[in-house]
Structure formats: structure tokens, C-alpha cells
Structure 1
């Protein structure tokens, strides 16, 4: 009896000690995460500080000080000189169309390869993976010749087509591995109940994978928004250019002060920050769902 009581007491002590260790570990992890977040947000903080400074204020106090005089001259200047509303509309149009169509193609392709069990699906996925590894620089000349022949050069449709294919290739490769592990018993039961392929996709597969699809949508939008090299080669006129191209063009045409450059950079990333905040919950759900799977 005494031995049993001693063992129970030792177990309680061990449990308390383990709980204390986990608690300290959690605190250490939280501190490290906060430090990492501060380090990652520090460049954005410096950008915001300098975006609302005057040039004289920047020259007098440097980049790390708080603005002595709040100024929006740099933002107004970039807004007017770059025709920012037009560039914003171009970026939104291209990024949204690529994200929506890219996700749609990724889902349909992945359903066929991962669940439909298309013959040679492993070989097809291998080619898709290899295509994702091709650097964009190697694609420029063949794409230039093709779109020049098609009459889509200097058109937003050329960028939409290119990045829809690039993003959907990545999405197909990612979703196919997810759909490949989908429980076959559920699919067979739905087939026995008379469900068509379209009904299986719409009522069974999509609800389960919606979080992962949301992550792809967010990534496709941001990746396309930030693209510079291919749009630079295909969008020549001001009417078709995107925000990253407008920022680069302003730097090339004018000698920009550090405060003007900070203002232009801040204005160019605000839409993606708003988009990311709006879809942040879906993004977190998709990451957690992927970790659980």
C-alpha cells in the first residue's frame, strides 16, 4: 500500500515537472516567434516611416527616425505620375483572372490525375514537375515568338495565359498528391448511390479540400501580382502595365529620392496586404488542414 502511494506521489511530481517544462518551452517558443515577427516586420516599418517623410527630414535625421513632419507628397507624386488607378486595375485584373482560372484548372486536372486515375498519371505528373523547374528566362523567347504570331503581344491576355498555365501546373502537382490519398471507399459509395463524376467533385471532393484550394488562390494572386520579368518583356505600353512595372519605370525615368521611392513601394504593396488580411483566416485554415492531413 505504501509502495502504491509512493508511486502515485512520484507520478504527480513528474507530471508537475513535465507541465512546468512544457510551459517554459511554450514561453520560449512565443518569445522566439515574437522576435522573428519583429525582424520580418522591421523592413515594412522602416518603409512606412520613410514614406511619410519629407526629403529634408530624411536627409537631416536618417531612415530610422520618426517623421518630424507628416507628408504625403511622395504618395501623391507617384499616384499622379504613374497613373496609379490604371496600373492598379491592370494588376487586379491579371492577378484575379490568373488566380481564379489557375485554381479551376488545378482542381479539374488534379481530380482527373489523383482521383480519376488517368492512365499514365505518374508520367504526366513527372512532366508537370519538370515543367515547374524550367526557369522563366528560358521561356521568354519562345513565348515572345508565339504571342507575337498570335497577336497577343503587348496585351494583358498574354500575361494571363502565361501565368495561368504556370500557376495551374504547380497547383495540379500539389493537389494531385492530396487527391491521390482521398479515401476510395467514400468515392465508391457515392458511385454506388448513383453520383456522377461531376457530383462527386462538387459535393464530396471540393468541400473537403476547400481550405487547400483557398491557399492556392491566395498564393496564385500574390505571386502573379509580384511578377516582374515576364510582364516587363510583354507589356510595352503604359495602358497595359502593372504596378511593379510602373514602379520600375518611374525609377528608370526619374531620379527618385529615398522618400519618394519608399512612398511608391508602400503604395504598390498596400493592395496585396489588404488582400492577404482579407483571406488570412482561410489561409490559416488551409495550412492547418494540410498539417493535419
Structure 2
């Protein structure tokens, strides 16, 4: 009887949190499908399904070009920060060399620095190097910003990796490079996938760096494009909701596609060293 009560209470709590999580999403979808000019709050059923709102938002907001910019920036940031994080974390987690702890804590320090405190001096530095209004001005700061988390996350995995596996690879004549890419990385796919998904979400939703570094419309990303779109169509709730759905959809697709590995990586990363 006690087990049934506990199970029922668990399912009840999960149901409440599920409803709380889905309510904003349902509200946005309801507003996106409402007729143009509607003043619905988002929690009322639309009079009809106006799928044309998505096409209008896509065309008027130029989200096709903005989406291409965001994909390019996100893929580049994920690739750069992912490779560098794995290499640095392997050095900090497996190898032993002088100053390793000091260098690692310098990386961790990057997690404590607020983006707002760095963006202004960063802008002047990149402007002096003629990197503003360019893809490099968007990619390099975000890759460096994600590197601190990536190194911290992957170092935890490498420190938890079985030493017997590493020693067996070395006995078989595998170099450090081979041990990393052919043994440890395939074993740590959940941890790597979690890191990549989180970096992708942060990069896709990044607004401040894009706002400061980019003034040319050709390099706008979708969050920045959505902000300008809101300024132009602030009174059209349905169109704004449709544009918001278009901007958020790639992140949802990536998370749904990799959710099992993401959850496995989160559970694995929760283990204390």
C-alpha cells in the first residue's frame, strides 16, 4: 500500500510539473494559430487554424537568411568549442603536468565572469581587429565563452573513466591521441552529446553578443532578427507568436533527437568525483 501511495504521489507531482511546463508552449502555439489582429492572451482556443501566419512571419521577418546565419554560427561554435574542450579536458583529467590545477581553475574562472561585464571591452578589441560585422565576431567570442563549461564538464568525465581501460590501451601501444579519440570519446558519447547540445542551445539563443557585434543586417542571427521583427510588428500578437515558434523550433528538434543521450550525460555528470 505504501509503495502504491508513493508511486501515485510521484506521478501526481510529475503531472503537475508537466502541465506547468507545457502551458506556455500551448499558449504560444494557440496565439500563433489565431487570426491576424487577434488580442487573445494565448490561453483561448483559436477560432481557426491559421497556418499562414508562419509563412507571413517567415517572409516578412527575413528569417530564411537569419536562420542560415544562426546555423552557421552555431555549428562553428559547437565544433570549435567541442574539439578544444575535449582536448583540454583530456589533458586536465588524464595527464599529469606542472601547473595543471592552476590552468584548470583559470578555465573554471570563465564560468563566473558575467557576459555583460565583458561584452563592451570585447567589442572594442574586435573592432580594432576589424572583426565586428563578421561571422568571426560572432563565432570566436561564443566559442571562447563555451570553452569554460566544456572543459569543466568533460574533465569530470575523463576523471571518472576507468583507469584500467586507459592502461590497457597504453599497454597495447596506443598513443595518447589514439586513446582519446578511439577509446575514451566513443565511451563518453552521452557526456559529449550533452555538452554539444547545451552549447548549441546557448549559441542559438545568444542575443547580447549578436546585438553588440553586429550592425549589418547580413549577419543577424534569429534572436536578433526576432527582436527587430518585434519592433516592427509589436501589435500583431499572432505574427509575433508564429515568429517565436520558428525561432525556437530548431532547438526543440535537436533536443528531442538527442534527448536520451542528453539525459544519460546529465545523470553521468551528476556523479561526484
TM-score range, shorter chain: over 0.9
Match of 2:74 among 95, 98, 101: 95
- 1:62 is displaced (CA, Å) by 4.7
Aligned to 1:244: 223
Map 1:174-253 to 2 at 5 A: 174-253=153-232
Comparing 279-288 with 216-225, which one deviates more in the overlay?
279-288
| Contact kept? 2:82, 2:150, Cα under 8 Å | yes
Instruction: From the two aligned structures, give the one with the greater helix fraction.
Output: 1
* 1:47 counterpart = 2:2: no
Runs of 5+ unmatched residues, structure 2: none
Aligned to 1:31: 12
| Contact kept? 2:157, 2:191, Cα under 8 Å | no
How far apart are the structure 1 equivalents of 2:249 and 2:218? 21
Once the two structures are superposed, residues 55-113 of structure 1 have per-residue CA deviations (whole angstroms, 9 ceiling, x without a partner) of 45x33x65322111222343233211221111111111111111122111110000011
Match of 1:154 among 127, 130, 133: 133
Larger radius of gyration: 1
- 1:281 is displaced (CA, Å) by 2.2
Helix, strand or coil for the counterpart of 2:17? Answer: helix
- CA 1:67 to 1:253, structure 2 compared with 1: closer, same or farther past 3 Å? closer
| Contact kept? 1:159, 1:231, Cα under 8 Å | yes
- 1:142 is displaced (CA, Å) by 2.1
* 1:79 counterpart = 2:58: yes
How far apart are the structure 1 equivalents of 2:184 and 2:166? 9
| Contact kept? 1:156, 1:235, Cα under 8 Å | no
Runs of 5+ unmatched residues, structure 1: 1-19
Q: What TM-score comes out, normalization by structure 2 length?
A: 0.93
For this pair of structures, how many residues does the alignment match?
272
Aligned to 1:264: 243
Superposition RMSD in Å? 1.8
Aligned to 1:106: 85
